[in-house]
Each structure stands twice: as structure tokens, then as C-alpha cells.
Amino acid sequence: MKEIIAFIRPSKMSATKKALDALDIPSVTAIPVLGRGNQRGLNTTLSGIDIPQKLLAQKRTMGMKFIPKRMLVIVAKDKDVDAIIGALVKANWTGYIGDGKIFVCPTDDALRVRTNETGYAAL
């Protein structure tokens, strides 16, 4: 069992959901987050970065330390990991800085609270 943590652009959520639905991946947690990567903040000349209109109106985009992203958390069977990663990359690749990051972590166990099922049955 693996936990896949992906950071993607908010504008790519729809395409990402469609890609995961096509793989019949039923459980995904999506959380709005703020962060930055190698770009060290926002460069408004980059394509594909969503800047809230409120911030544009306030002219606060220059020197911004963090940009909006979505953090996806997926716990999956080992056999599904490569397909999920492939779908995430295909749905989110633009070729520009800020396309995102994907982390894969081992997961020892899972427990479904309602039924007390554990392991793969809990997924």
C-alpha cells in the first residue's frame, strides 16, 4: 500500500479528477494549500499560474512568497501506483515551472472506522 501526495495547480483539478475517474480511483482527498517551489515565489510572466483577482486588484503579486496549489492525497494498492502517477503527470504537465510535485510514501496499514476493515479492504 502506498500514499501518493501530489501538489498541482488549482486549474488542473478538473482534468485530474477525470484522469483518476478513468482509472476507477474512488478515494482522493484534495486540500487547498499555499506553497512555493524552486521558483522562490510568484513570477507573473509564467503561463498557467492562477492568481486570485483580489490579489491582482491589490497589486500584491510582486514578491509574493507563496502561490495557491492543491494537495491531493491518495492511498492506493501497490499495483495501481504507476498508473496513478502516469495519470497525474499526463493531466498536469504544461512544461512550465509550477507543474507540481508527486511524492510516494509507504503506508503500513489502513483502517475503515465504520466497518473496522483493515489493509486493502479499508481502501
Domains of the chain, start order: 2-122 (3.30.70.120)
DSSP, collapsed to helix, strand or coil, labels residue 116 as coil
Length of the chain in terms of residues written: 123
Q: Rg of the chain's alpha carbons, rounded to an integer?
A: 17
Alpha helices in the chain (DSSP H): 13-22, 53-58, 81-92
Per-residue pLDDT, 64: 59
Q: Hey, what's the cell of 116? A: 473496522
Residue 52 has pLDDT above 80, yes or no: no
Per-residue pLDDT, 37: 75
Residue 27 has pLDDT above 80, yes or no: yes
Nearest-angstrom CA–CA distance, 108 and 8: 26
DSSP, collapsed to helix, strand or coil, labels residue 3 as strand
